[in-house]
Amino acid sequence: DGGITQSPKYLFRKEGQNVTLSCEQNLNHDAMYWYRQDPGQGLRLIYYSQIVNDFQKGDIAEGYSVSREKKESFPLTVTSAQKNPTAFYLCASSTGVGPYGYTFGSGTRLTVV
Interface residues toward another protein, by CB under 8 A = 4, 6, 31, 33, 40-43, 45, 48, 50, 88, 90, 92, 94-99, 101-107, 109
Q: How far apart are the first and last CA of the chain?
A: 36
Nearer to another protein, 71 or 79 (CB): 71
Nearer to another protein, 45 or 79 (CB): 45
Nearer to another protein, 18 or 56 (CB): 56
Integer Cα distance of 100 and 2 in angstroms: 15
Q: How far is the CB of 45 from another protein (least distance, A)?
A: 8
Q: Quick one: how far is CA 105 from the chain centroid?
A: 9
